[in-house]
């Protein structure tokens, strides 16, 4: 159930497409979903898939930090 919810949220955020790359708040939401999906997949023993989610989260976090280093929550 959690995985389905995260996948649905991820799909909605990804549909905003070009706007997401310009909106740092949306990017942050995507990092949160990637992280949560990673936890679910890891707990299910699907480590390869979890690694992909964590990698996506890390890449987005690096972009956020580069764009706004003063935002410590990023």
For 47-67, the pLDDT digits (tens) are: 999 999 999 999 999 999 999
Contact (CB, 8 A) for 26 and 64: no
* Choice among 13-17, 43-47, 53-57, 67-71 with the minimum mean pLDDT: 13-17
Alpha carbon dihedral 1, 24, 54, 73, in 10-degree steps, equals: -100
Q: Which residue in 38, 29, 36 sits closest to 60, CA to CA?
A: 29
3-state secondary structure of 24: helix
């Amino acid at each position: 159930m959690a995985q389905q919810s995260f996948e649905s949220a991820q799909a909605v955020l990804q549909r905003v497409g070009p706007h997401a790359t310009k909106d740092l708040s949306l990017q942050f939401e995507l990092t949160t979903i990637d992280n949560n999906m990673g936890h679910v997949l890891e707990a299910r023993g699907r480590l390869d898939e979890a690694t992909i989610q964590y990698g996506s989260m890390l890449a987005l976090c690096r972009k956020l930090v580069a764009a706004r280093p003063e935002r410590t929550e990023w």
